[in-house]
Amino acid sequence: MPNAVEPTLIEPLFQSLQKERFVIVCTIDHETGAPNTSAISWVYAPTPDRLYFAVDQRSRIVANVRANSAISIVLIANESTYSISGKAHVKVEKLENVPLKLAVIQVDIEEVRDVMFYGAKISVEPKYEKTYDAQAAAKLDQQVMSALKQA
């Protein structure tokens, strides 16, 4: 039986993207044309057909998206692994009310594909912790996520 393909986020995925979350971003490298992969956590879904995420303005992701709008985001949630594909562009050059120089990338979702291999499910979702000052990290995370929700 083939894995499910949807045009937008299903409800459990949409709900999981209402808060900071570990995801993998895949773009096309603007210099080599090869795949480029990065892990990020400041991601938010304002609607089931759109994602926003924040990255440093100097990030390779920004240059890659400017050169080629194709993007894929890997999300582990809902006991599975999903590939969220679409077109991306820089929505905001510099996010306001945040102490870092962050750009906001908007992803217009075209396809959500369950890519988990047959006969398996995710039993424990990835967890991470910030390795710098926990209080400063929590404050920055709150600022960035709040700004993303207003982007």
Q: Residue 108 above 50 pLDDT? A: yes
Report the CATH number at residue 47: 2.30.110.10
> What residues make up the domain containing 40?
4-150
Q: Domain count of the chain? A: 1
- pLDDT at position 2 is 56
Instruction: Look up the pTM and report it.
Output: 0.95
* CB-based contacts of 106, cutoff 8 Å, min separation 6: 50, 51, 52, 88, 89, 90, 91, 151
pLDDT-derived band at 93 (thresholds 50, 70, 90) equals very high
Summarize the confidence of residues 43-56 as an average pLDDT.
Answer: 98
Q: Residue 1 above 50 pLDDT? A: no
